Structure 1
Amino acid sequence: MALRRHHKIGAAILLTIAALVLILSFFINRYWSPVLAMRVKSVVLSSSDSLYNVDFSDAELHVLKGQLIFYNITLKPDTAVFNRRKKQNIAPNNLVELHLRRLILNNIHPLQLYFHHKLNIGEIILSSPELNVSYQLNHTRDTVIKDRRTPWEMISKSLKSIRIGAIYLNDVKLKYRDYSGNKVAISELKEMNLSASDLLIDSATQTDKSRQLYCKEIVFEVNNYTGQTPNGLYTYKINHLKLSTLTSQLNVEGFRLTPIKANDFFNKSHQTRYDLGIDTIQLNHFDYLGYHKYRKVSASKIMVKGGMLSVFSNPKGAKDPDADKTKSFPNVALSSFTTDIKVDTIQIKRYNIAYSEFNKKSNQTGTITFNNTTGTALNVTNNKDALAKNNISTIYLNSYFMNRGRLNVLFNFNLTDKDAAFSYKGNLGPMKLTDINPATMPLAMVKITSGTIKDLSFDIKGSSKISKGHLALLYNDLKVKLLKPDSTYGLKSKIIETFYANLFILKHDNPDKIGGAPRTFNVTFVRPDNFPFFKTVWQTLFSGIKPSAGLDKKTIEAIAAMKNNNAQKKQERLTKKALRQQRRAEKQREKELQQ
């Protein structure tokens, strides 16, 4: 009986304690919310130096569950404060506006906080966040004198540590406005996720450089990101993007830049048309904070694997045909970027490149290709400090020209020279010359009927003004067929000209005989102002290839003189024919009058 009585007393005590806890929880939930609201608003206002205000509709504290929930949170900047700071040149580059449907803090440990002064939260979940970010480049370095104390030093008087197991932002909607260019660039992300793991602020982590924002890792992911360029000529898409602060690695999968249909593109623009695809891009040691704050791109290595680039020259030509195209030189283009770039190494693997051009004379399109291209670019930068240490960028490229001949090229670019100095040397391995016909027939109206390249080697030094160097083309059994437009067959042979070219002009072999010394040539090419970089490279090489095949300056002048002579004789024949027809007509009229 006594035992039963003790059980009843114990049960009554437990029920009483439970009832008191429930009643206490109710009153805490009831009356604590306004106090918390005032405290949170005060902290946000003071920590942002009055730039941001926060508000929420309600807050619930569930003591037994160890859970705290905020509803309908809104974080807004005070534009008056921002504009005042902007005039003082201390405004931040990024301005943020945030709305949260719900903020949940799970597994809160109030006893640890009370007895051990440790704030320990299992996880924080932000539901359906809507984020608006505006970017203006107000400064390139921090301008505000900051409190030099670490977060640990700031909290150490009241807390021993702050620990959050995980933070999740799922299904984030982000609208990003970039005011740094001539026009406002607007980007929208709808399938974005953000997570952070093991946030810890204590005496040890205040100097732990392996953590970012005191988190072991922050992961940013975007899926199915699409958009359109401001001019409406291209759409772009990224299948998946992931940034990890633990590895300082940015990974992009399935990047595509797609132009509108060719006819529409060329009707709207004088620009060259590009179609670009990249399977994967990986940036190692990517400085994501530098990019976020100052739009600086800094990475130790960028790896580009798989994909294609298709370039189609605009048939209408440039809007200003005589405009100087020096800006197309890679070293000049890099220096003209407003974005600060510093990349130690860029690696390219398994990339296919095609260049196409429409010839109005043949009414056909010719294409040259560089297949399975791999390469390495070193010291790609326009950063002033980096250029002071090393102003040369080196690019090694290996490819298969027309998917046949192996091409090896080494480029060197002076990144600070006022005349855009550069050099390139390399060689093209054995291939059949007939494999070049997809380019030579439409563009040059020349069909190569036989021939084999044994080796093409070149070593050129140049600038935006002139290129000089040495070239040797070794080949055998070169024969061609000269073509002209035909309304029925597209292109047909010029029989007499072909016979003359093969018999009297072309040199069919180099060297001319087995064991003989090969013909080599020094080349000099003065660049016209309206020639872009790659056209300059090609024309420089072509100025050495032509004499190798027999088309030296004297021969070309003789051919031109012969063409002029033939044209003159043709005109004389036409004139005589017209006179004969006129005399016949006059005689016919005289006969008619006599009758």
Structure 2
Amino acid sequence: MPERSAPRYIKIFFWFAGIAGSLLLLAFLVSLWLPTYFKNELDAALKKSVVDASDGLYKIDYQSININIPLGNAEVKGVNLTTDSTRYEYLLKNNTAPNHRFLLRAETIRLSGVSLMRLFFLNSLSIQEILIDRPVAEIVHDPQSYNEKKQSQTPYQLISKVLKSIRIDKISLNNVDFTYVNHSVESQKPQKSYLKKVFLDVSDFLINEDSEQDSSRIFYSQNITLEAEGLELPSGNAMYVFRMAQLSLSTHDSTLQVKNVHYQPLFSKADFSKKLGRAVDRLDLEFKNIKATQVDMKRFLADRQLFARNLYIDAGLMDIYKDKRYTQIDNSKMGKYPHQILLKSKLRVGFDKVHLKSTRVRYGEMNEKTNRSGAVFFDGTQGTITNLTNDPEWIRRNGHCKVQVSTRFMNQGSLATYFDFDLASPRGAFRCGGVMKDFEMTHLNEVTEALALASIRSGKVSRLEFSVQATDTQSSIKTELHYDDLEVDILKMDKDSDDLKKRSLLSRILNNVIINENNPRGNRPARVGEAVIERAADESFFNLIWHSLFVSIKQITIGRGRQQAKREKRAS
């Protein structure tokens, strides 16, 4: 019986083998035909979709497109997305132009793991990875007033007519050259920001009916990491440039870090005021490393507001310089204390605590009478700032920004200072004070000779303690200064040699009659310097503090005692 049935099984085997072979042959032929078919269909559909979706504003071209149906892969080379300028002008005239225009060029765009089954049967787009290599992108921001009243659609509302969902496991942009052009500043040229060598990775991107309410996602993604090098941003001032060597961001770790930040003058100290033709403060701000932790990434990315638990600033320089050989115009500094500038900033910020480390602060002037510059500086500055914010809600909860700093004054005396800025004060109120010990006064000669035509022959400070209360219009100061063996020479400019020379007679009178050599002196109580100083309109924050100290110390050293002191035209 088995022997007779064997031919029957063989026939069935060959029958199935023939069907299988035919199917394989058909699949092979289809695999050769489908890519060409899909390529043509995709080419036509893609170009039409871009035109239709943008109301004719954009068109897309590319050099080639390759598709692998079995693996669900596609590669597009030489991509170029451009704006139709004629169409844009038409949209402007009809009040339908968007606030942003885009330009994109990319060497290669790769899609891998595209699920055709989910696309055809579930109407959902699922992609494992999208890789865009070496794109050049430009965004032009030109806001139109009529768009403010328009209610924008959510991404899901935009795709819901075509797809139920879009899911992409990973999106990578490698080596992006990014330019942002801002036309929103009135009566100014468009401001350009540059990001060079940008690397962006987006993980688990999902748009569906529920993703809008998913609080664990930022921009519909579980994680966004960004690294960029060679950043150049508009400073808002033609005399400066704002640069950052490197920026990195991670929404998963809630961290933001920038390195080598520099608000850099475009001209040297000698040429800055010369270029402007007037005396102005020249700022040079540089920090090696700034890192924010526990950042509110949704506010940062969506609302362009920076709120974080901690901000770390390391290895910084704050250099302020003014060349008074040039005309001093009526340039009011009223309302321009540091906390007042912060409150006026358009960028909303809030930091529970700022940690300062290894920062140098320098304030210098060039004197028009002596043609010499003098500067005071503070090295190794470190400390903390609490409640640094311009957010109205934060200020309602806590209206004071407090600073605690320790530093070394002129590389000699150890100085501990504090500042208390009243963020809710309409008058710019703040308090500050400090204590310094063990300082050789001769180290001030660079400053006193250039700015005050005086040279300190000897003198040692054992203790300096001061406290200042100030508003926009005045400051009041109380200073205690304990010192020994103070001798000062009065100087004059030699008209022939342009050198500084000692005025012997006046110096003897000063040291023997006017100056108190010691404070305290014998059994007498130490003199205290107290003054109320009217602030000149052109007096900056640092200059006001320095001038207040100068007046109170002068009271102690020449023995005038307490007085009401008005601001002179020059701090001397």
1:233-275 per-position Cα deviation (integer Å, ceiling 9, x unaligned):
3344322111222233221111233332334323212332233
Instruction: Map 1:49-198 to 2 at 5 A.
Output: 50=55, 53-57=58-62, 59-71=65-77, 72-74=79-81, 76=83, 79=88, 83=92, 94-111=100-117, 119-136=125-142, 144-145=150-151, 154=160, 162-181=166-185, 182-198=188-204
For the 8 Å contact 1:210–1:246, the answer to whether it is kept is: no
Change beyond 3 A, Cα 1:136–1:291:
farther
Tell me what 1:587 maps to.
none
1:518 and 2:518 equivalent? no
Q: CA deviation at 1:430?
A: 2.2
Counterpart-to-counterpart distance in 2, 1:327 and 1:70: 56
Of the three residues 230, 243, 246, the one matched with 2:252 is: 246
- Over 3 Å counting, the alpha-carbon distance change for 1:76 and 1:378 in structure 2 is farther
AA of the residue aligned to 1:23: L
After superposition, give the CA deviation of every residue in 1:284-343 in whole Å (9 maximum; x if it has no partner): 3445665566554444433211121222212344551x3432133223322333444444
Q: CA offsets, 1:95-142, max 9 Å, x none?
A: 433333432101234346567777542211113322111224668998
Partner of 2:376: 368
Q: Which of 193-202 and 526-535 deviates more?
A: 193-202
Alignment of 1:320-399 (within 5 A): 320=329, 322-399=330-407
SS in structure 2 of the partner of residue 267 of structure 1 = helix
SS in 1 for 2:332: coil
Inter-partner Cα distance in structure 2 for 1:82 and 1:475: 76
Residue 535 of structure 2 aligns with which residue? Answer: 527
Q: How many pairs does the alignment contain?
A: 549
Q: Is the 8 A contact 1:391 1:414 kept in 2?
A: yes
- 1:279 Cα deviation (Å)? 0.3
Match of 2:3 in 1: none
CA deviation profile, 1:509-554 (whole Å, cap 9, x unmatched):
221126x532223321122223222222222222211111125279
Q: Does 53-62 or 110-119 show the bigger shift?
A: 110-119
CA–CA separation in structure 2 for the residues paired with 1:212 and 1:51: 30
Query: Match of 2:553, as an amino acid?
Result: I
Aligned equivalent of 2:470? 462
Q: 1:380 to 1:556 in 2, by over 3 A?
A: closer
Which structure would you say has the larger Rg? 1
1:315 partnered with 2:289: no
User: Residue 351 of structure 1 aligns to which amino acid in structure 2?
Assistant: T
Is 1:406 the counterpart of 2:414? The answer is yes
**Which letter maps to 1:393?**
C
Contact 2:98/2:147, CA 8 A, preserved across alignment: no
Quote the residue 1:26 is aligned against. Answer: 32
Contact 2:47/2:61 (8 A) holds in 1:
no
Give the direction of change, closer, same or farther, for the CA distance of 1:318–1:164 in structure 2 (3 Å limit): farther
Q: Is 2:446 the counterpart of 1:441?
A: no
Aligned to 1:508: 517
Q: For 1:326, what is the secondary structure of its paired residue?
A: coil
Q: CA deviation at 1:206?
A: 6.0
| Distance in 1 (alpha carbons) for counterparts of 2:508 and 2:328 | 41
Which sections of structure 2, spanning at least 5 residues, go unmatched? 1-5, 566-572
Gaps spanning 5+ residues in structure 1: where? Answer: 558-595
Closer/same/farther in 2, CA of residues 140 and 355 from structure 1, 3 Å limit: farther
Amino acid in the other structure paired with 1:495:
S
Match for residue 258 of structure 1? 264
Identity of aligned residues (%): 24
Q: Answer yes or no: is the 8 Å Cα contact 1:76–1:98 preserved in 2.
A: no
Matched, 1:279 2:288: yes
Q: Which amino acid aligns with 1:193?
A: F
Is residue 83–residue 101 contact of structure 2 (8 Å, CA) maintained in 1? no
Partners of 1:222 and 1:148 in 2: CA distance: 28
Please give the alpha-carbon distance, in whole angstroms, between the structure 2 residues aligned to 1:488 and 1:316.
19
Per-residue displacement from partner, 1:354-380 (whole Å, max 9, x unpaired)?
222122333322121111112333333
User: Secondary structure at 2:544's aligned position in 1?
Assistant: helix
* Equivalence for 1:585: none
Confirm or deny: 8 A CA contact 1:287 1:297 kept in the other structure: yes
